[in-house]
Structure 1
Amino acid sequence: MRNSKIYIIGVLAVVALYSCVPSREIRSENISVPQQYQNQSADTSNTGMVQWKEFFKDPNLIALIDTALVNNQELNIMLQQVDMAKNIIQAKKGEYLPFVNFLAGAEVEKVGEYTRNGAVESNLEVKEGEEFPEPLTNYTVGVFATWEVDVWKKLRNEKKAAVFNYLSSVEGKNFMVTNLVAEIADSYYELLALDNQLSIIDQNLKIQQNALKMVKLQKQAARATELAVKRFQAEVMKNQSHKYEIHQEIVETENRLNFLIGRSPKHIERESDNFIDTSIDIIYAGIPSQLLQNRPDIRQAEFELAAAKLDTKAAKASFYPQFTIKAGVGLEAFDTKYLTTTPESVLYSVIGDMVAPLINRNAIKAQYKNATDQQLQAVYEYEKAILNAYIEVVNQLSNIDNLKKSYDLKDGQVKALTESIDLSTRLFQSARVEYIEVLLAQREALESKMELVETKKDQMLAQVTMYRTLGGGWN
């Protein structure tokens, strides 16, 4: 009857513990996206699934990216973080398995005679008239195990959360690779554009220097003034000065690429001659739902949310009783000559513990609240990543379309202004226009050519950005 009462009291205590466990409802994540992009078909062809070695055609650019994926310091730092996340899985896996330790020890103890142990030692003999040694020594050899029984799956959930954190770190690495590939391509195309702008300035300088010679001859013939000569000289010097600015930009862009590929400053191999004639490939955006699988940052947020959910379960399990089993077997004696005497020297023990928080549970309550807050935070992060990805794609689709229209108009502007240079020069020679018309025609033609190169560069960068936005570059 007494044992039954104790059992009932124990059951009631456990029920009371369960009823006191707090619970917070966390809303589910919203992963809905439109069925298709604005003004786009529902075609599932997606450029983001193309491997980067197939997306980029320039062999020099491909070589730069290959080198960066091996030597980039920031990427190698991230790889170490991924490896550390993998090690945490191994550590968490070991926590719900028994811990078995080998123990070998020796000790010396002198107890007071007027104590329980002292009185026993003074009145008992070991055997054959021998007394306990004074002071008393003790030697122990054995194997001892401790095992926390994972009844509430707390340790298993922590291990699963570590797995999701590892997968999240892998996706974080993939996202870094995507950005690294895009950054190298951006810098490379910027370098090609600078080379072309430098070439345009050189061509324009030849035209301006010829115009300056013509104005000087006109002055000698009293058909132009010193003012015209000075204005043409100033225009030549202005463009010569601009050359040095572009030279500096080229140096800085080359070194930015050298930094990304992890090497000291060195010339970047490239072919810039046909940059302005580079064809713009068609980008296939696919459908918005593909972003959830293609974008590493979205998958990273998804794994982080999964880990946060498991962390919440593990935090809630801290309110429940913890069961621990301890066991050991070995040999123990006060003298080494008795250590192997069995069964007298055999030592063994089995202990079962149950520990449950009862009073002052503020710490685990705070831990549980933090876990639920972090889970809700992960929900928002996941939703934000999806929304951001969708908006980025929509923006780039519009950007690519507008840049194409802008380039076509600027190309026509360049052709018209280039023809105006020859026309204004001939009119000036026949004294039908002022020298200022020649200057303006040359200046406007130069500016339009520079803008055309900038627009072509923006088109190339938009292609790269669109590829990255669709989730391409890491595979």
Structure 2
Amino acid sequence: MNNIKIYLAGITALIFSVIEGCKVPAIVNHEVNTRPPAAFEAAMADTQSSAVIKWQDFFEDPFLLKLVDTALRNNRELLSTLQEIEIARNDIRVKKGALLPGVMAKVGSGIEKVGRYTSQGAGDASTDIAPGKEVPDILADHELGLYASWEADIWKKLRNDKQAAVDRYLATVEGKNFVVTNLIAEIADTYYELLGLDNQLAIVKESIRLQKNGLEIVKVQKEAARATELAVKKFEAEVLNSQAREYEIFQQIKEGENKINFLLGRNPQPIERSSGEFLTALPRQVSSGIPSQLLANRPDIRQAELVLAAAKLDVKVARAAFYPTLDISASLGLQAFKPSYLAKLPESVLFSLAGELAGPLINKNAIKAEFASADARQQQALYEYEKTILNAVREVSNELSNISNLEQKYQLKNNEVNALARSITVSNELYKAARADYLEVLMTQRDALESQLELVETREQQFSAVTHIYRALGGGWK
């Protein structure tokens, strides 16, 4: 009777535990603001986005395509990211295993001698066994059996935990895609920078040649008393300044090549490229698509969305900890104190089946704290998701404006270069006719050199802007 009362008291406590568990804080579904501003939607009015174009088709330079292909096979950051995917995939297997019964096989042997003046020893001594079949003092124990345990997922805790692992796995895949997108853009960016530096180097070398010619003319004029030593030194200083700039460009080229080699996962070596048609080549036209395509194409947005989904499931898992858990265990096997007795059935058979319902009753502070932390992580993931969207909108808006402004800037710079090229001829003729001094000639040459270098830099910025908008739209990973 007393056992029945204790059993009923335990059931009553569990019922109250369930009722108490129903009083946990409700899960709050926070609203996500994903709508871009109206001005941005108007700017992105194309029906097709360039982000859907494969990188092999988007970039036309065969040398650049070869570099990107090598990087996608050897880049160390990308290879490290692939291991993160493998870790996340294994985590799914761990979570999936928790849903299934755990079954273990057990084979064991041992010996035991209990004290005579113990409950077990006294019981063995008083056992009425036929002569010659008494229980030995040193008792062996041989066992062969299967043991199983299973937690019934009545509150979907384990299933939500597994789905959260799936979402995190998918998030790591999107993270890998984002690494691919950035890797391709960084290689293309540096490659175009090298092409620009090659052209700048050619301009500086040509400028040095012209300046040396001018220096020789001034030296001749000095001998004819038509120029002074000051003019000679000024022309000489200008040549030295251009030669110093030449070595500065050499260093920038070396650093650019080493950067690409690093991204390709290899030691420093020359980068094969074609720079001859850099100024005459036109940057690719880009279609921005519509805002919904931006959300679908950008891997970092998709990654943040999946992390948010996993965080929401974590809240549900933490909430389920307030409720009782149902554990079922079972065993089946053979056990005897002599190996020969294991074959005697059914005397040596052992089996068990038990169910256990347990839940938190007192001191739930740890569970409440974990639930509060899970909810805070959910809000944190939501803010990160919104921040990622805001950043994507900002990048696309910046690059769309940049492409338009760089096109206007290039046209103006090109006109400036043409005007200064004519002014060099005019200044040389005026100097020979003694109608302009050497400072005007030097300043004209310096301005012409700067404008040519800026024109090349603007063209490089145009190619980089196209690469940046391709990355900002989410292109490159497909």
What is residue 355 of structure 2 aligned with on the other side? 352
What is residue 98 of structure 1 aligned with on the other side? 101
Q: Which of the numbers 155, 161, 164 marks the counterpart of 1:161?
A: 164
Q: Which of the numbers 387, 399, 403 marks the counterpart of 2:402?
A: 399
What is residue 433 of structure 1 aligned with on the other side? 436
- Show CA shifts across 1:224-280 (max 9, x none): 111101100010011111111111111111010000001111110000111111102
- Alignment partner of 1:374 is 2:377: yes
**Cα distance, 1:24 vs structure 2:** 4.6
Contact 1:34 1:288 (C-alpha < 8 Å) held by counterparts:
no
- Partner Cα distance (1:359, 1:197) in 2: 76
**Cα distance, 1:387 vs structure 2:** 1.3
**Cα distance, 1:145 vs structure 2:** 0.2
- Show CA shifts across 1:139-185 (max 9, x none): 11100000011100101100000000000000000001000000000
- Partner Cα distance (2:46, 2:271) in 1: 39
Contact 1:192 1:271 (C-alpha < 8 Å) held by counterparts:
yes
Q: CA RMSD in A?
A: 1.8
Contact 1:82 1:166 (C-alpha < 8 Å) held by counterparts:
yes
**Cα distance, 1:45 vs structure 2:** 1.5
- Which deviates further from its counterpart, 301-310 or 2-11? 2-11
Contact 2:295 2:301 (C-alpha < 8 Å) held by counterparts:
yes
What is residue 73 of structure 1 aligned with on the other side? 76
User: What SS does the corresponding residue of 1:139 show, helix, strand or coil?
Assistant: strand
User: What SS does the corresponding residue of 1:353 show, helix, strand or coil?
Assistant: strand
Contact 1:46 1:286 (C-alpha < 8 Å) held by counterparts:
yes
What is residue 89 of structure 2 aligned with on the other side? 86
What is residue 178 of structure 2 aligned with on the other side? 175
- Which deviates further from its counterpart, 277-286 or 117-126? 117-126
What is residue 50 of structure 1 aligned with on the other side? 53
- Alignment partner of 1:242 is 2:245: yes
- Partner Cα distance (1:38, 1:110) in 2: 84
Structure 1 residues 437, 11: CA separation in 2 closer, same or farther (over 3 Å shift)?
closer
**Cα distance, 1:197 vs structure 2:** 0.6
**Cα distance, 1:33 vs structure 2:** 2.5
- Show CA shifts across 1:337-365 (max 9, x none): 11111100100011111110011111111
Contact 1:215 1:224 (C-alpha < 8 Å) held by counterparts:
yes
Normalised by the length of structure 1, the TM-score is 0.97
Q: Which of the numbers 251, 254, 259 marks the counterpart of 1:251?
A: 254
What is residue 313 of structure 2 aligned with on the other side? 310
User: What SS does the corresponding residue of 2:108 show, helix, strand or coil?
Assistant: strand
Structure 1 residues 446, 348: CA separation in 2 closer, same or farther (over 3 Å shift)?
same
- Show CA shifts across 1:410-443 (max 9, x none): 0000011011111111111111111111111111
Structure 2: gaps spanning 5 or more residues: none
Q: Which of the numbers 197, 207, 210 marks the counterpart of 1:207?
A: 210
**Cα distance, 1:120 vs structure 2:** 1.8
Contact 1:162 1:307 (C-alpha < 8 Å) held by counterparts:
yes
Identity within the alignment, %: 51
Structure 1 residues 77, 158: CA separation in 2 closer, same or farther (over 3 Å shift)?
same
- Partner Cα distance (1:162, 1:38) in 2: 35
- Partner Cα distance (1:359, 1:14) in 2: 9
- Partner Cα distance (1:41, 1:81) in 2: 34
**Cα distance, 1:131 vs structure 2:** 1.1
Contact 1:37 1:394 (C-alpha < 8 Å) held by counterparts:
yes
- Partner Cα distance (1:210, 1:101) in 2: 91
Structure 1 residues 118, 459: CA separation in 2 closer, same or farther (over 3 Å shift)?
same
- Partner Cα distance (2:125, 2:18) in 1: 51
Structure 1 residues 42, 71: CA separation in 2 closer, same or farther (over 3 Å shift)?
same
- Show CA shifts across 1:38-86 (max 9, x none): 6636221211111111110000000000000000011100100011000
**Cα distance, 1:22 vs structure 2:** 2.9
Contact 1:65 1:181 (C-alpha < 8 Å) held by counterparts:
yes
What is residue 272 of structure 1 aligned with on the other side? 275
What is residue 415 of structure 1 aligned with on the other side? 418
Contact 1:38 1:394 (C-alpha < 8 Å) held by counterparts:
no
Structure 1 residues 169, 127: CA separation in 2 closer, same or farther (over 3 Å shift)?
farther
Structure 1 residues 13, 127: CA separation in 2 closer, same or farther (over 3 Å shift)?
farther
Structure 1: gaps spanning 5 or more residues: none
Contact 1:324 1:354 (C-alpha < 8 Å) held by counterparts:
yes
